Amino acid sequence: MKLLRYGEPGLEKPGLLDAAGSIRDLSGIVPDIAGDTLSPDGLARLAAIDPATLPRAEGSPRLGPAVMPTRNFVCVGLNYADHAAETGSPIPKEPILFLKSLSAVCGPDDDTIIPPGATRMDWEVELGIVIGSLARRVPKERAFEHVAGYTLINDVSEREWQSHRGGVWDKGKGFETFGPIGPWLVTRDEVADPQALRMFADVDGKRYQDGSTRTMIFDVATLVEYVSFCFTLHPGDVIATGTPPGVGLGQKPDPVFLREGQVVKLGIEGLGEQTHRMVGAR
């Protein structure tokens, strides 16, 4: 299934995408794409529904974040060896974790707001793991029991605030609109191998990132095990698993950073695409 949330910001309804690409309203069935809806039993109940029996959403509504992280939006840094190399960083011996502010979460096609004075805006296409049931110190061999599915994430970054303003990475990662999630949550049964997904990111039509989850240093099961040891994960929580090479910071001979008016398009095989226009803060 492809589960989603649609409507105006803060007023999104739960829905699913049918085989014809139409949005079907789930608001009469579940309160949101969150909580018990994401449990194995909850997903099984949704899978048993004939989408044709659900109301069709009118027009072309805005898509909101596919899930709203309950408590944690965990990100993994430098999880692709070739991305670590392009940033001049050593390959991590353990996952590097940081948290993205929940106020950064937005829809998959919402504008990206450039913070006042920001000059080093960057993009990062990432596979997102969506947690479906409480995960606390989960062993690797049981990791997938706690995964509801996968989604697309752009780990928008402001590199000046990330690396040159003191403290941890979180500051450069958590501004408003820096955490678009979606367009959909694709349930685990529809992703045969999360370690074999093509992924890309374009800026104004020029391809910068062209990679695959095959080159992740720490795979999905390892990350669920490691993150759930550090943080108790709740249904709807998201783990962004890192980005392949091709970010703006890594361009040679000079870095390339985003400017107002530019358009970033990114996607992952089977998980959909996002499009964001860069806009100045108002």
Note down pLDDT in tens along the chain; length 282 residues. Answer: 999 999 999 999 999 999 999 999 999 999 999 999 999 999 999 999 999 999 999 999 999 999 998 899 999 999 998 888 887 888 899 999 999 999 999 999 999 999 999 999 999 999 999 999 999 999 999 999 999 999 999 999 999 988 878 777 888 899 999 999 999 999 999 999 999 999 999 999 999 999 999 999 999 999 999 999 999 999 999 999 999 999 999 999 999 999 999 999 999 999 999 999 999 998
What whole-number distance in Å separates Cα of residue 101 and Cα of residue 270? 27
Instruction: Report the 10 Å Cβ neighbour count for 247.
Output: 24
CA distance 110 to 100: 17
Where in the chain are all domains bearing CATH 3.90.850.10?
Answer: 73-280
Q: Give burial (CB, 10 Å; 0-12/13-18/19+) of 45.
A: middle
The predicted model scores a pTM of 0.96
Q: How far apart are CA 282 and CA 280, in angstroms?
A: 6
Helix or strand (DSSP H, E) at 266: strand 263-268
CATH number corresponding to 73-280: 3.90.850.10
Using CA atoms, how far residue 16 sits from 77, 94, 108, 249, 267, in Å, is 31, 36, 15, 36, 19
- SS3 call for 202: strand
SS3 percent helix, strand, coil of the chain, rounded to 5, is 20, 30, 45
